[in-house]
Structure 1
C-alpha cells in the first residue's frame, strides 16, 4: 500500500457561488502539501505499533495520531530527520508486524473561501419588528427571523420564488410524507465529519452537551477561537440540511429531531490531513454514532487510500457511512471521491429541481399528436368551453435533473459510484446569525441523504448498512435528460432518492447494484435475489432500462480522456426469467448476464449501464442499477506519449550550485556543451491519461561505466577539467528496476494510486534519496502499472521517456567562449514511447 497521488486534494463539495461564499475562480485544482517525513502505518497489533511509536520519538520524530480501534490499528507520524521515502522505508523496515504503510502524509486545502453577500440575504438586522413593519417586509418578499437568543435577520427572495417556504427538496423526495407520519429522526445519533458545527445557533439547539441537540463537539485541529466551533461555516451548513429545526423560520432539516455529533477535521484555513480524517471517523464510531456523514473528501477515485479503507471497515462493522461524491463534472469519468470510493460506503450525487418552461418570450408551444387526437381537440375547442388535456409522459411528476456540476464515477475498479442521488442544488442552509441562504454542491446532498437514512432506519427499526443501501437504491427513481434519455448510472447510481418508498417497501433485493467489470474481467451472470416481505403473494415482471452509454476517451485526443461523448448502443442484458411469482415471506433468485454493446470502438472504452426494472402486481416499482465497460482497462493507455521535437534532443542545462556543500561531481571543473542554458530546473512534461495503481519516475543515465573516467578536453587524463559530453555515471550508484537502470527517482516518487492529469516535473538534480545526480547525460523515464495490472508482470507496465539531455552545476563550471544564457525553469521536455 502507499500514499495518495500528487493530485489527491481535500475537497468540500460546494459548487459555484450560490452560498454566501465561493471558491476562487482561478483555482482549477486545490493545492496539496506533503508533510515532510510523514507516514501512516497499519499494524498487526497495538504492541507492534507501540514499538514503532517509541522508536519514532527516540529518533527525534513525532507521533501525530495513535489508532487503536477494532477497524484500524496504526499510527501516523513524522520523522523530522528522514524526509525521503528511502529514509522512511529504511526506518520502518526495522519492524515486523506492519500490515500496510502509506509513505506520504498529506495536507490538503480547499480553494480559497471568500465571504460575499448573496442576492437573497439582506444583512441589516431587524429588532423585533412590529406588525406594521412586518407587513411591509412581507409585501417586499422578505422573511423576518426572530429568536429570543438572537436578533432577527431577514432573507430576500426573488419574486415568485417559492423554493424556501415550499422546501422543494423535501417534496420531490417524499421526505415530507415521512414527517407527516411522525418520523423525524428522534433519538438517532448522526456524526458530522467536517469543519465543526456552530451549536450556538437556535436552529441547531443553541447549546452543547448531554441534553442539547449537539451532544459531541470533538476538535482534531484546535486552531480556532475556543468559543467558535466552526470558523469555516461549512460544517454548520451541512448540519442544517441534516437536522436544522427552526420554528421561527419555519424550516426543518431532513431529520429535525436527530442528535448531532460534531467532529472537526478541517481547519480555519480549509486544510485537513488524511490522518485527521481517519481520527474523526474512528472517534465517531467509538462514540456510538449510528450514522456517519462527511462532505469533506479527497480527489482520489481509489478504494485503497487509507481513509477509504478505514471507512469501508466501519461500514462492515454495521454503521452506515455517507460521503459527498464531488463537483468535478468537467473532468469526466472515474472521478469519484475518497472515502466515498470505499467498498460499501454510500457515495451521494446531487440533483436539482427540474423546471420545464411551457412558454418562452416570443415562442408558442406546439404539441404533435395523431390525426384522431387532432380532430377530437378541434371539435372540443370549437365548442367554446374550457378544454382539459391529460398528457402522458415518463411519469416523473416530481422529477429532478442531474446537477450540472456533479462528478462522474465509477471507481477505477468499476465499482458503482455514486450509489444514489439527493437534492444538492439551491438547498436552503443555515449560516451564522440564524440566516438561511441557498447553497449548491454534493456537500449538501450528502447530509440530506444521511437524514433520509435516519428516517428510514427509524421507520424500519434497522441500521444495517446493506439493508438500508438496498432499500434506498432500489426505491430511488432513475432520471432522464430533457430529451427523455436515461442519464448514466455513472452519474446517478440508483437515481433520485424516494424516502417514503424506501421506508415502506415490502420487496427487498440483493445485491443493491450489479457491477459487471470490463471485458477482460467480466462477471456474468450475477444472481439477483428478490424477497417478498408482504403478507400476500406477488408476481414480479422484470425488464431492462438502458441508460446512455458513454465513451471514456474523446475521439482523436487521448490526453483529454474525460469524455461525456454518448455512444448510440446499449449492452445486451439477458434475464433468466422475465416474470416470477414469490409467496409471502419467500425469496427467489434469478440470473442477470451482460454482453458489451456491438459496433462500438473498444479502444475508447465504452461505459454502459442501466437498471433492472422490477414491477410487482402489488404496485411495487423497484430498479437495480448495473454497469460495465467494453474494452480492457489493463490494456488501455495510461501514460501519454507526446510527439518528439528533434531540437529537444541533447539539450544542455546548467543547474544552480547544490546546497549544503554537496559536490555531486568528481571533477573540479566541467566544460559546458555549446548552447548550454542556465536554468533553475529541467522541466519534463508528464501526462497520465488514466489512473495508475503505481507510478515511478526514474533518472536514467545514458552513459554508465565501472569507474568514472577523468577525461580532459583534449583526451588527457586530469582531475581538473571534464568534457561533459564524455562523462559517465559510476555503475556502483546504479540500480535496476524492470530492465531500466536508474540512479534514483525524482522527489515525491514513487506514487501509489495515481489520478490522471498533466504535470510539469521540475528537476534541480536532486533525487528522492537526498543526493544530487552527478553531471552527465540523462533521460527521465516514467513507468506506470496498468489498472488491474499485475505488478510482477512487466508486460503490465507502460513506459515513456524524455529526450536525452545533459546537466552540469554552477559550482564546477569551466567557462570558455560564449557565456551560457540565463533562464528560469527550462521549457518542457515531452515524454514519449
Structure 2
C-alpha cells in the first residue's frame, strides 16, 4: 500500500494594486477579540542598546531630557535587556515622549505598554462548575472511567496521544520533582493592568484559566477518568493575569523570559490579542527564545472565523501557533445520580444531571415517561395537562419530560395536576449547551435536567416495559462526575472561534491544530475542581504536551525539528463553514487549520524529515514562484517518493461590496499549479534529496476580495509511512472637547503616517517629509503594526513634535505603507487627504 507524506502546507495571497479606502464606521460583522486592549498613558517598554545596559543611567538620561520616569518592571534578561517605565507627567497624547525616548543613545527600541482585559474569557461550552464531594472517590465514577478508557479519552485518541501512553511515554520529568515545581507571581494581588506590578513567589490561580490549561498537560488520575497528555511532565507556572483576566505586554515579556531563564524545555501560553505582525514587541521577545533553542507553543486566538485574525505572540517567527479542533466526544460535567433496574443499591449505573430549583433530595423512585399517548398534543412534553392515559397520581415517580414548546414552570404546573412532585427535564435536541438549572413550582420537591442522549437510553428501556429506578443524591453530598457523548455535528472540524491566518506579511499561521473545543480539565478546588471550557487556550497545552512526548521519545529539543515533525505528520480536516452551517468536501483552508490535526504517534515514529515545515508564496506583488525543500530519509532502507499536490479550499477575506473583514466569505477550489524538479525520486537510507518546486498562481479568483489560497505537497512513499508537512478592537474616545480624527484600518498596516499640511497662506513652519511639506504629525503618529481596528485621536493644535500650530487652514495627509514596502519610498504608500479644517484659538481672561 502506498502511503502519502503530505509536505509543506503552502499558502499565498492574491491581491490587486489598489487601496481599500474606508470611511470611519462600525459594523457588526467584525472580528471578536480574545480581549480588549488599550495603551497605558505614559508607559513604555525600553530595550537597551548593546553596551548601555545601565538602569540608573537610563533614568538619569530621561530626567535630563525633561521626561522623568519611574520603573514599572525590570526586564533585564539574557535575551531581552531593558525595562518598562512610567513617565511622571502625562499630557494629552500617551505616546508624546516616544520620539525623545528613542533618541537616547542607550535606547535600541521603544514600544508603548499595552494592557489587555478579559484575556481568559474562555468560550465555555455549557453548564456550571460544580462543587461536590471532591474528597470522595465514587466507585461508580471510577467504574464509568474504566469503561470510558475502552473507548479512550477523545482528545488523546484523535491526536494519537493514547498510543504513546500505551508505549510508556508520559512527558518525562525534565527537572526535580513533578507537577508544579517552579515559577512565580509576576503581578501581585493589587495589579489592575495599568499600575506597577508587584512580583511575588507564589503563582496562586484566582482565575481558573491557568489550572485548566495545566490539567490538560499534567492532570493525574482522578475520579472523572482522564489524565494529562504529558502527565509525567514537570511544570513551571508564571502568574501573569489578575483575577479578572487582565495583563500587559511588559508582564508577558517578563513571564516568557523568566520561564526561559529558569531552564524550561517548552514554554506554552494560552493568551493572545489580535495582531498579525511578527514585529510586535511580545512576538519579538518570544521569537528570540525560539532562536535560542526553546520551543514556544501558543494559542492562535479566538477571533475566528475571520481571515487575518491571528493573535500576538502566536504570529511570532518560529512560534508553534495552534488552532482549535472541536472535540469528537463532548463532556458533560455535573452531579452524579444512579439508575438500576430493580431499585436496589447493587448494579448501579452512573449518570450526570444538572440540579434545578429545588434540587432533588436523597430518594430512589421509578422513572415515568411523558409519552405522546399521554399528552393532548401527541408530544413528549407537557405544555398542556396530561390526558387520561397518564397516571392520576405521579407523586411516587420521577417524571421524565421534554423541555420544549413552553417554559419549565408551565410544564411543572401542568404536571402538578397529576400530583407530580419530582421532575427530570431533558433537552429536545442533543445540544448539551441547552442544559441549565430549571425552575419549577413551590409544590415541586425536586427537579433537574439531563441530556437527550441519556434519556434515549431510558426511553428504550421504558418502552420495552422495563422498569427503571433512579437514585438521586442531594447535590451538596453528591459526587461530581462526567459523561461523554459523541459529537456527530462538528466534532473533528476546526472550531468557528479559532483564529485564521495568515499574518499580514503572508507568513503561515496557524501552524497546526489540536482539540480545544469542549475540553474537560482541572480547576481550582474553590471553584469546583473541574471545568469544561473551549478555546485555542485549550488547544495550545495539548500541543505542548505532544511536543513533550516527542522530546522524550526522540531525545530532540530543536524547535524547527519539532515543528517539522508535527507538521509533516498532521492529518488534514475538511472545511466546515459554521456561520452558514455548510460542510464542504474540500480540505479546510491552510489559513484555518495549518498543517492539520496533530498526530503524535506518527510524529514520534516518522523516519522521513523535511527541511522546512511550510512554504509561503507571499502576495501577488511579492510572489515567490520558485523554492527548494529537502527530504531526508532516516529509515534503514531506501524509500521512493511520488511527488504531487493536494489543494485546500481558498477563502476570500472580504465580501463583495463590503469593506470590513467578512465573517463568512465564499470558499473556492481554485488551486495553484505546481511543477516539481522530480515527479518520482528514490532517497537512499540516511540520505536526502533537494526538490525544486515552481508555482503558478490560481486563476478564477476575485483578487479585489483578497483571497487566501493554499494546499499540501504530497510525497507518496514506498515505506508505508503517513506523514504531513505544510506545502481587539480598541474602543477609544476622547473626553476632551477637541476635534478628533478617526481611522478604520480594514487590513494590516505596517506604518501609518498622519501628517498635518498647512493650506493656502497659513504661516506654519514646515519640513519636507517624503516629498510633502508638513507642519508636524498628529499625536501618536506615525503608528506601526496596525491590525484591523479603529484608531481615534483628539487634536488640540499641538503636534506630536510639540509644536503649537498657528491659526489657519489645514488638512491631514494619511499615508499607509504597503506591506513589504520601503518606508523611505513615497511611492510605496497609499495616500488619503482629509477635508480641510480651521484652527482658531480663544483666550480666557485671567
What TM-score, normalized to structure 1?
0.70
- Which residue of the partner structure matches residue 538 of structure 2? 444
Match 2:720 to one of 613, 619, 626: 619
- Whether 1:258 aligns to 2:233 is yes
What's the secondary structure of 1:279's corresponding residue?
helix
- Whether 1:589 aligns to 2:690 is yes
- Which residue of the partner structure matches residue 374 of structure 1? none
> 1:317 and 1:31 mapped to 2: Cα distance?
30
CA drift at 1:29:
6.0
Match 1:471 to one of 565, 581, 584: 565
Q: Deviations over 1:250-302 (max 9, x none)?
A: 32111001000011222233222211111111111111000001011232211
> 1:259 and 1:29 mapped to 2: Cα distance?
30
1:662-741 → structure 2 map (5 Å cutoff): 680-704=737-761, 728=762, 730-732=763-765, 734-741=766-773
What's the secondary structure of 2:681's corresponding residue?
strand
- Whether 1:99 aligns to 2:95 is no
- Which residue of the partner structure matches residue 510 of structure 2? 418
Aligned residues of 1:31 and 1:110 also touching (Cα < 8 A): no
CA drift at 1:786:
1.0
CA drift at 1:402:
0.7
1:766-805 → structure 2 map (5 Å cutoff): 767-769=799-801, 773-805=805-837
1:516-665 → structure 2 map (5 Å cutoff): 516-560=617-661, 564-626=665-727
- Whether 1:342 aligns to 2:316 is yes
Aligned residues of 2:178 and 2:233 also touching (Cα < 8 A): no
Q: Deviations over 1:60-93 (max 9, x none)?
A: 4123334443422333223323655453422442
- Greater Cα shift, 448-457 or 572-581: 572-581
> 2:124 and 2:116 mapped to 1: Cα distance?
24
- Whether 1:305 aligns to 2:280 is yes
What's the secondary structure of 2:254's corresponding residue?
helix
CA drift at 1:35:
3.4
Aligned residues of 2:602 and 2:723 also touching (Cα < 8 A): no
CA drift at 1:165:
8.5
CA drift at 1:56:
3.8
- Whether 1:221 aligns to 2:187 is yes
Structure 2: give runs of 5+ residues left out of the alignment.
1-30, 191-199, 331-427, 430-487, 576-582, 728-733
- Whether 1:81 aligns to 2:89 is yes
Q: Deviations over 1:352-407 (max 9, x none)?
A: 13589xxxx99xxxxxxxxxxxxxxxxxxxxxxxxxxxxxxxxx999821111111
> 2:641 and 2:748 mapped to 1: Cα distance?
41
Q: Is the alpha carbon distance of 1:165 and 1:226 closer, same or farther for their aligned partners in structure 2, counting shifts above 3 Å?
A: farther
- Which residue of the partner structure matches residue 291 of structure 1? 266
Between Structure 1 and Structure 2, how many residues are aligned? 633
Q: Is the alpha carbon distance of 1:598 and 1:167 closer, same or farther for their aligned partners in structure 2, counting shifts above 3 Å?
A: same
- Which residue of the partner structure matches residue 38 of structure 2? 32
Q: Is the alpha carbon distance of 1:118 and 1:352 closer, same or farther for their aligned partners in structure 2, counting shifts above 3 Å?
A: closer
- Which residue of the partner structure matches residue 413 of structure 2? none
What's the secondary structure of 2:822's corresponding residue?
coil
> 1:397 and 1:223 mapped to 2: Cα distance?
43
CA drift at 1:315:
0.8
Q: Is the alpha carbon distance of 1:241 and 1:291 closer, same or farther for their aligned partners in structure 2, counting shifts above 3 Å?
A: same
CA drift at 1:534:
1.1
CA drift at 1:36:
1.3
Aligned residues of 1:57 and 1:63 also touching (Cα < 8 A): no
- Which residue of the partner structure matches residue 294 of structure 2? 319
Aligned residues of 2:183 and 2:259 also touching (Cα < 8 A): no
- Whether 1:176 aligns to 2:162 is yes
Aligned residues of 1:291 and 1:450 also touching (Cα < 8 A): yes
> 1:119 and 1:37 mapped to 2: Cα distance?
40
> 1:111 and 1:82 mapped to 2: Cα distance?
27
Q: Is the alpha carbon distance of 1:211 and 1:584 closer, same or farther for their aligned partners in structure 2, counting shifts above 3 Å?
A: closer
CA drift at 1:54:
4.2
Aligned residues of 2:770 and 2:825 also touching (Cα < 8 A): no
What's the secondary structure of 2:568's corresponding residue?
helix
> 2:656 and 2:258 mapped to 1: Cα distance?
47
CA drift at 1:682:
2.3
> 2:791 and 2:56 mapped to 1: Cα distance?
39
RMSD: 3.5
Q: Higher relative contact order at CA 8 Å, sep ≥6: structure 1 or structure 2? A: 2
- Which residue of the partner structure matches residue 371 of structure 2? none
> 1:586 and 1:423 mapped to 2: Cα distance?
35
CA drift at 1:684:
3.5
> 2:839 and 2:677 mapped to 1: Cα distance?
66
- Whether 1:458 aligns to 2:433 is no
Q: Is the alpha carbon distance of 1:246 and 1:138 closer, same or farther for their aligned partners in structure 2, counting shifts above 3 Å?
A: closer
Q: Deviations over 1:704-749 (max 9, x none)?
A: 4xxxxxxxxxxxxxxxxxxxxxxx4x333x4442344444333332
Aligned residues of 2:287 and 2:316 also touching (Cα < 8 A): yes
What TM-score, normalized to structure 2?
0.69
CA drift at 1:120:
5.7
What's the secondary structure of 1:485's corresponding residue?
strand
- Which residue of the partner structure matches residue 400 of structure 1? 492
